[in-house]
Chain A
Amino acid sequence: MAKRLMKGNEAIGEAAIAAGAPNYFAYPITPQSEVAEYLCWRLPEVDGVFVQAESEVAVGNMLFGASASGKRVFTTSSSPGISLMQETISYMAGAHLPVVFVNIMRGGPGLGGILPAQSDYFQATKGGGHGDYRIIVLAPSSVQEAVDMMLWAFDLAEKYLTPVMLIGDGMIGQMMESVEFPDKYREENNPDEIEWALTGAKGRKARICKSLFLNPEQLEENSFLLAEKYKKIKKAERRCELYNVKDDNKIIITSYGTMARICQTAIDELEGEGVSVGLFRPITLFPYPEEELYAEGSKKNIKCVLSVEMSTGQMVEDVERIMKGKKKIDFFGRTGGVVPSPDEVKDKVRKILRIKK
C-alpha cells in the first residue's frame, strides 16, 4: 500500500480499523480529540460503532460491556481521562477481558497542562487501579510504530485476555509523518467462534463474566492465574531497540517514546564530538526488557546508565531496580509539557563524563 501522510492521532484511529476493531467509545480531551473527530465519520464508512460517551468512567465501562461480546474494542484518551478509566481497567483485568486503551499523555498531576509529557509511566506500568494486576504497556516513538503497535496490541490483548495500553506523549498524537497500513484489513471477530464471548446461552451453559469471588480461595486462585499470565508475558513479549550501542560507549541512555528520538539526535551530535553514547529504548514498558537492559548496562565500558524522561523521574526507578547497583544511575528530565532539547541531553552527558565544552 502507498504511504500516506497522516497525523498520529488519525493514524491510530485508522490502525484500529485495520486491526479489525472498528468499535470505538470515547470522551473528548486534548491532545487527542482528533481521534474521535476522525473516527466519527470514518467508522460509519466501515459499519463500525462510534459512541461519544458522557464521561471516561462511562467509556471504560462501555468498553467492558462491548468487549464481553467477543468483538475488538478500544478507546483513546489523555491523562486525566485515563485516570477515570482505572476502575474499568482493574475490573477487566480481573475478568480476563481484552481491550486496547491509548493514552496520549499530557502533563499532570491534576488538570496539569495540554502539552506532551511522560508522567503517567507509574500509572500505566504499576497498575493505576486497585488489586493485584498488571497490563501490557507499549510505547511508540513514531507514527508508523504507533500504527504497527495498534495491530500488535489487539493481538496481545486477545492472546492473553488482558487490557493493553499504548502510551504516547502528545507529540506522537500531533506529529504528521508518512505511514503505511496493511494492504488487507483484518475482518471483525465472529463472536460465535470465541469460547469466552457472551453470545446467549443457546445449547450451552450460561457464561458469566465477572471479577467477584467471595470465597478467598477462589479469589486467590484468580490472582494466581493472573500472576501466571504476567509471568508468561514477561517471558515472551519483551521488546527493545538499541541505537549506537558499541564497545566504546561510556554511557547508556534509557529513554522511550519521542524522548528517545530526541536522545538519538543528541547521541549523533555527541558521536561527532568523539563522545560515544548508546541508547536503550524499551518498546514494551510492561513487560520491561529487564534482561536486555541489564546485559547492555552492565558491560565493562559503561560508566553510567542515564534515564532521560519527560517526567521528574519515573522509569528511572525501574532502571535502578534492574541494574541492582551494578552501575551508577543518573537521571535527566523536564516535565509539565517542557520537552528537553538535544543540547540539554548533551550537557547532561558531558557533565557526567566531566567533559568541558
Chain B
Amino acid sequence: MTSSPTLIFKRPDAMSENVTHYCPGCTHGVIHRLVAESLDELGLRDRAVGVAPVGCSVLIYNYFNVDFLEAPHGRAPALATGFKRVRPDMIVFTYQGDGDLASIGMGEIVHAANRGEKFTTIFVNNAIYGMTGGQMAPTTMPNQRTTTSPAGRDVNKAGFPIRMSEMLSTLKTPSYIARVGVFTPMHIINAKKAIKKAFRLQMEGKCFSMVEVLSTCPTNWGINPIESTKWVKTDMEPYFPLGVFSDPERGDD
C-alpha cells in the first residue's frame, strides 16, 4: 500500500530561493527564517514591507519574497515610521544589527518606540560590527577583543555594553519587548513564538514591538560555530538575560 507523501517541511513562502551570503555558523539565516515563517503563518506576506539595515543583513531583501526598503545606516525606524503612518493598513518591520540600532540609530529607535509606532523591529545583537570587519559595537562584551579593541573592551573608556531591551522597556508608552536566543533548538522555538507575537500585536494595531535576538558572528569572534553558540550562552546570556521586558497583554506600562 502506498500513501501519498505528506509535506512536513518546506521553505516559507515569504523566503526566496536565493542562497544567503552569510558565513558558516552565522545565525542571521536562522532569524530570517523565523521572520518568514511568522509572516506566512499570520498570512502577512503580501501586505508586508521590510526595512533593511546597513550591516551584514543589508541584502536581506534578496532572501525574502516581500517588498523591501533599504535604509541609511541606523535609520530604519524612521523609514518604518514614515511608511506605516501613511499606510497603517500594511505590516512594516525593520531588521537591524547592534551597530545599526544601538549606535548610529539610537535616536531613531528610542523615539519610534516612545511614539509607540505600530511596527516591528527584529534586533540582531551579535556583540560586534560584522559587515565592516569586526569592530567594537555598543554591545561588545567587557574585555571582548575586536579590531578596534584589540586588548579587549575597556569599560572605563568605552562604557559597558548597552542593554537595549531593558532600556526601551523603561519607556512609559506601551510596547512588546523581548530578548531571545537562537543557540539551541529550544531557544529557536521560543524565539519564533516571540517574533510571531510581535507581528500579531502589530496586526492588531496594539503597539510597537521589538524582539532582540542574541546572534553569533563566528567569523569576527574568531571561534568556530559550535564554540560561538556556546559563547552566547556562557558570555552573552548572563549579561543580556532572555525574557519579556514589556508586554501590553501582561498589563505592563
Contact = CB atoms under 8 A, between A and B. Distances in A.
Interface string A183-213: 0000000010000001111110111111110
B65 A206 contact: yes
Contact of B81 (A51, A200, A212): A51
A63 B49 contact: no
Nearest to A66: B82
Interface residues of A, number: 41
Contact of B82 (A25, A91, A209, A210): A25
Contacts of B84: 65
A348 interface: no
A67 B85 CA distance: 11
A206 B111 contact: no
B86 interface: yes
A262 B164 CA distance: 55
Interface in A35-58: 49, 51, 53-55, 57-58
A136 interface: no
A69 B83 CA distance: 6
A23 interface: yes
A201 B66 contact: yes
A61 B65 contact: no
A62 B111 CA distance: 12
B48 interface: yes
Contacts of A25: 82
A206 B61 contact: yes
Interface residues of B, number: 35
Interface string B74-86: 0100111111111
A8 B111 CA distance: 31
Nearest to A210: B70
Contacts of B87: 69, 71, 191
A209 B52 CA distance: 10
Contacts of B78: 53, 57-62, 64-65
A95 interface: yes
Contacts of A95: 70
B67 A207 contact: yes
A87 interface: yes
Given A73-B82, A210-B70, A58 B107 contact: yes
A146 to B, nearest CB: 24
Contacts of A64: 69, 71-72, 75, 78-79, 82
A123 to B, nearest CB: 18
Contacts of A78: none
Interface in B33-56: 45-49, 51-52
A26 to B, nearest CB: 12
Interface in B54-112: 58, 61, 64-72, 75, 78-87, 90, 107-108, 110-111
Closest A-B pairs by Cβ, 3 of them = A65-B79, A65-B82, A61-B78
Given A65-B71, A65-B78, 5 more contacts: A51-B82, A57-B107, A61-B82, A68-B83, A206-B66
Interface of A: 23, 25, 49, 51, 53-55, 57-69, 71, 73, 87-88, 91, 95, 191, 198-203, 205-212
Interface of B: 16, 45-49, 51-52, 58, 61, 64-72, 75, 78-87, 90, 107-108, 110-111
